[in-house]
Homo-oligomer: A and B are copies of this chain.
Amino acid sequence: MSHTLGVRQAQKQKTRRALLDAGLRLLEDQSLSSLGLREVTRVVGVAPAAFYRHFRDMSDLGVALVEESLGSLHGVVRVILAERDGDEQLIDATVEAVAELVRGYPAHIRFIARERHGGVRPVREAIAAELSRFADEVAEAFAPQLTAEGWSLEDVRMLAELYVDHMVMTATAFLEAQPGDQPGEPSEAQPGEGAGDPEAVRRVAATARRQLLLISLGRRHWRTG
């Protein structure tokens, strides 16, 4: 599809990407409401006025980052929920998926966690909308089985929100367990990669698994035990 997009548009999207990347990098140490326009353009190596060719605002860039961070998540649910051979394996797969997400895109996850209740309204609303759509998909995936067991749609939605919130919670816990460039600590004992204390990561994963296990235990006995 699409006939290779022309040299003009290609260059434009290239600097747009650079702006997004620079913004995301700077947002690891500060929040969006304090991130300056000039700060971003300075990192990219472009004139401040060039910013306006791509974004109206800083919050505009923020919304774009939200879509980039959470947009690719929508397929993931069905993939994980498809390979379920029992509760425990589904839980393991879920926690592992969250861990991999945090390991692969720490800056994106940190951005979402930080701006979910941050000071920029449009960004907050974009995140809320995206997470709500995410909960919709989780609910949709659980609906067939649970309604067959006599669950109301309201209760299914309630459970889906609990799952989504717990996933976000787990993701931020993973983030705190593997700090990116935490100043104060000069370096790692293991100079391999930037993954923080591996034992702390395992502890977070173990806690998350047990919590999900407890929740699914409650789910099995809902209005039947």
Contact = CB atoms under 8 A, between A and B. Distances in A.
Interface of A: 29-31, 33-34, 110, 113-114, 116-119, 128, 155, 158-159, 161-162, 165-166, 169, 172, 176, 207, 210-211, 214-222, 225
A113 B116 CA distance: 9
A165 to B, nearest CB: 5
A138 to B, nearest CB: 14
Nearest to A208: B158
A139 to B, nearest CB: 13
A117 B119 contact: no
Nearest to A33: B34
B214 A119 contact: no
A113 B117 contact: yes
A35 to B, nearest CB: 9
Contacts of A219: 214, 218
Contact of A158 (B29, B211, B222): B211
